[in-house]
Structure 1
Amino acid sequence: MQNSKIANDWDLVIKGHTSLFDIKFKDLWHYRDLLLLFVKRDFVSFYKQTILGPLWFFIQPIFTTIVFTFVFGNLAGISTDGLPQYLFYLSGITAWNYFSDCLTKTSTVFRDNSNIFGKVYFPRLIMPLSIVVSNLVRFGVQFLLLLCMMIYFYSFPVEGTSFHVTIGILLFPVLVILMALLGLGLGLIITAMTTKYRDLTFLVTFGVQLLMYATTVIYPLSYAREKGYSTLVELNPMTGIIESFRYAFLGKGEFTFWSLGYSTIVTIIILFIGIVIFNKTEKNFVDTI
């Protein structure tokens, strides 16, 4: 009788066999302090041994924008829909970098943290969520750079180009959430698969770079339509997000509620599949990692 009473006093019961859809979202809230600690760890450890530190937040998008402007804008002569080339490429890079960082860093979460997962219990979903939140800091810095560039080109306009902020700016929080959740969902699927198929780790970075060319980062959707492959580009859920992002802040881009709705539905489906697969894999990945 006494043993039964003690057993009922436990705050947490860890079971060996649970439902595939038993995600334990309540535990995520209870471990929110751990989430913040992981965010701080990711931010500090990544730049602790670098000379320039957080300045890399600015350097990477600036140099990428310069290269894209020279190669695709000047040499290839690809249209930017009447936008200043630097603004066009920087806006696409800012949105794409956040999505790709969430995807690539989440895709190795099992491998990179196997030593922690095998020793102590906490909701495993905390780890990929911390990656998404910590990348949000980098996105915020690069977005600030974009705003500074907008102010510069508004003060010193380039002949033959123009831009303006639209009411679509109200959708900005939604767009950021979609970027994060899409990267998270794809990353969860890949990290679950890499516990058995290690080769996928080497393909992720390469695959993400190829995927960028199937998105309107370096060319507008109108250019893809002229070349006859807009349908393939529009199937990429990031296309609707980036086009909406450009429309909101620069007034150019083919924004429609249909395209944004498509991106939202695909993101929700991918996120759901990712969480389910991640939840299934976390129960026995220690045996295969």
Structure 2
Amino acid sequence: MAENNHTLPTDGWTTVIRPKTGWFDIDLHELWQYRDLIVMFVKRNFTVLYKQTILGPAWIILNPLITTIIFNVVFGGMANMPTDGVPGFLFYMAGNTVWTFFANCVNNTANTFVTNSQIFGKVYFPRLTMPVSQVLTSLINFFIQAAMYLIFW
């Protein structure tokens, strides 16, 4: 009788896909192996986000600046809301910067599986790469806006 060899090849090109055992069964090593895919998704997200706008990536700076000016006029000028000694412009810009990062992370990661569903059926890759790339794209925008905040400070 022939022997049944149930060992898997260990040549590095073989990927064994197993079901997850729990909610927090995250394979960070596999995610690290796909870091080039994450970088590619971040570049794609960044270019798609600002490709069809007239000003392009300048919206990263203009959007919080315009929103901060509007908040300063409405809440600081018309409503006379106190900022406890902090200059109103910096107060509203700080809140706007952090809130924009948080809102973008939540909205983009919530929609990532719906907007990229056509990719998931074609080839295997860790599904966590999509939300991670969305958060990293928002993090790039946050750092640019935080640098702008520090310039105004």
With normalisation by structure 1, the TM-score equals 0.49
Deviation at 1:49, TM superposition (A): 2.0
Distance of 2:42 and 2:107 partners within structure 1: 16
- Secondary structure at the aligned position of 2:127 is classed as coil
Q: 1:115 to 1:92 in 2, by over 3 A?
A: same
Paired residue secondary structure (1:14) = coil
What is the alpha-carbon distance in structure 1 between the residues aligned to residue 62 and residue 50 of structure 2? 14
User: Who is 1:9 aligned against?
Assistant: 9
Residue 255 of structure 1 aligns with which residue? none
Cross-structure match for 2:84: 81
Tell me which residue corresponds to 1:149: 152
**Aligned residue in 1 for 2:29:** 26
- Give the match for residue 68 of structure 1: 71
Q: Distance in 1 between matches of 2:64 and 2:122?
A: 38
Report the equivalent of 2:121. 118
| CA distance 1:36–1:88, change in 2 (3 Å) | same
C-alpha distance after superposition, 1:170-195 (max 9, x if no partner): xxxxxxxxxxxxxxxxxxxxxxxxxx
Output the aligned Cα RMSD.
Answer: 1.7
Give secondary structure in 2 for the equivalent of 1:108: helix
Segments ≥4 residues shifted beyond 2 Å: 1-5
Identity %: 47
Return closer, same or farther for 1:82/1:120 CA change in 2, 3 Å cut-off.
same
Q: Aligned partners of 1:136 and 1:2: how far apart in 2?
A: 54
Q: How far did residue 14 of structure 1 move?
A: 1.6
- Aligned AA (2:124): Y
**Can you give the 5+ residue segments of structure 1 that lack an aligned partner in the other structure?**
151-289
CA distance in 2, matches of 1:128, 1:42: 11
- For the residue of structure 2 that corresponds to 1:119, the secondary structure is coil
Shift of the 56–2 alpha-carbon distance from structure 1 to 2, 3 Å rule, reads: farther
Q: 1:2 to 1:110 in 2, by over 3 A?
A: farther
Q: Report the structure, 1 or 2, having the larger helix content.
A: 1
Question: Measured at CA, do residues 9 and 62 of structure 1 come closer, stay the same or move farther in structure 2, by a change above 3 Å?
Answer: same
Aligned-residue offset at 1:3: 6.7
Distance across 2 between alignment mates of 1:25 and 1:109: 19
Alpha-carbon shift at residue 105 of structure 1 (Å): 0.5
Deviation at 1:40, TM superposition (A): 0.7
Gaps of 5+ in 2: none
Report the alpha carbon displacement of residue 2 of structure 1 after superposing the two structures with TM.
Answer: 7.5
Between the two proteins, the alignment pairs up a number of residues equal to: 148
Taking the aligned partners of 2:90 and 2:55, their CA distance within structure 1 comes to 25
Distance in 2 between the 1:4 and 1:13 partners? 16
Inter-partner Cα distance in structure 2 for 1:31 and 1:63:
38
